[in-house]
């Protein structure tokens, strides 16, 4: 049996993040891997979209709305503050999350942070790292961006 080479090819998907003030849709483009003709495995956690994390398998509608068909093993944690994160603060978070076998990412201007960490790390450890980091960043807030804790501010 021969496998379809298209199924393992990396691609990008466009997910609906919300709507601008004038009503236009706002999308986030994320790396993904096609796993079936209409299913994609998310290869990176989103910074704006709520409801999914790296490793989740999604079915995506033409308008960018999606359904998580299979939940992956990761939490997506999103963080932002009143000001951009300093490079030193981001490095400290990256190191702390690394201790949990996770990964912290941010755009070059550090206006927000996305953390991907395995559920196996445990909520108490994740919350401790994120609370400690936020306490040292005036005005910083963080929240779980996926699963049963999506959009719940901590």
Residues 103 and 58 in one domain: no
| CB-count exposure of residue 31 (10 Å: 0-12, 13-18, 19+) | middle
Place of tokens 């790390």: 121
Asked if 87 and 110 touch (Cβ cutoff 8 Å), the reply is: yes
Across the beta sheet with 103-105, the strand order is 103-105, 112-118, 74-80, 141-144, 152-153
Our measurement of the distance from residue 52's CA atom to the centroid of its chain's CA atoms, rounded to an integer in Å, reads: 7
Residues 21 and 86 in one domain: no
Determine if the pTM surpasses 0.75. yes
Question: Which of 21, 43, 70 lies at the terminal end of a domain, its last residue?
Answer: 70
| Residue-level pLDDT at 94 | 98
Domain count, the chain: 2
Measured CA to CA, the distance from residue 26 to residue 15 in angstroms comes to 9
Residue that wins the pLDDT comparison between 117 and 148: 117
Coil, strand or helix at 127: helix
CATH code at position 87:
3.30.70.100
HSE, side-chain direction, 13 A CA sphere, residue 32: 24
pLDDT in tens, 11-33: 999 999 999 999 999 999 999 99
Range of the domain at 131: 74-147
The confidence band for 8, taking pLDDT boundaries of 50, 70 and 90, is: low
Is the per-residue pLDDT at 125 higher than 90? yes
Measured CA to CA, the distance from residue 54 to residue 112 in angstroms comes to 17
> Residue 152 falls within a domain, yes or no?
no
Residues 89 and 60 in one domain: no
């Amino acid at each position: 049996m021969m496998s379809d080479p298209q199924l393992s090819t990396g691609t990008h998907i466009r997910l609906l993040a919300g709507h601008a003030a004038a009503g236009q849709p706002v999308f986030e483009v994320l790396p993904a891997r096609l796993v079936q003709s209409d299913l994609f495995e998310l290869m990176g956690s989103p910074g704006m979209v709520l409801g999914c994390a790296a490793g989740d398998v999604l079915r995506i509608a033409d308008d960018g709305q999606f359904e998580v068909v299979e939940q992956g093993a990761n939490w997506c944690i999103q963080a932002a503050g009143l000001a951009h994160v300093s490079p030193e603060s981001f490095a400290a978070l990256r190191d702390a999350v690394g201790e949990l076998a996770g990964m912290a990412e941010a755009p070059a201007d550090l206006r927000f942070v996305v953390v991907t960490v395995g559920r196996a790390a445990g909520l108490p450890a994740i919350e401790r790292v994120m609370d400690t980091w936020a306490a040292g960043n005036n005005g910083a807030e963080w929240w779980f961006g996926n699963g049963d804790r999506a959009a719940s501010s901590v």
